[in-house]
Amino acid sequence: MGRLSVTLCGIELENPLIPASGTFGHGYEFAELYDINRLGSFSFKGTTLEPRFGNPTPRIAE
């Protein structure tokens, strides 16, 4: 298999797989299904210098 490593903002990751924030829990919930140590990183909620309001409710719809 070819090399999967990438550099993201000056940080080298072993691979580009980064689960989206909010869809992967804390990661440990998927540890029985997938070796989470093989992921490139985890995506956490972003931070900004200025406060931002989240999306209005309802955020989940059938």
Asked if residue 62 is part of any domain, the answer here is no
Tens digits of residue pLDDT in 2-61: 788 899 889 898 888 888 777 777 777 888 888 888 888 877 777 778 888 877 877 776
What pLDDT score does 7 carry? Answer: 92
Count of the separate structural domains present in the chain: 1
Contacts of 43 (CB under 8 A, 6+ apart): 18, 19, 20, 21, 24
Asked if residue 22 is part of any domain, the answer here is yes
| Domain limits for position 35 | 17-45
Asked if residue 61 is part of any domain, the answer here is no
Q: How far apart are CA 47 and CA 41, in angstroms?
A: 17
How confident is residue 1, by pLDDT bands cut at 50, 70 and 90? low
DSSP states of 1-62: -----EEETTEEESSS--PPTTTSTTSGGGTTTS-GGGSS--------SS----PPSP----
Asked if residue 6 is part of any domain, the answer here is no
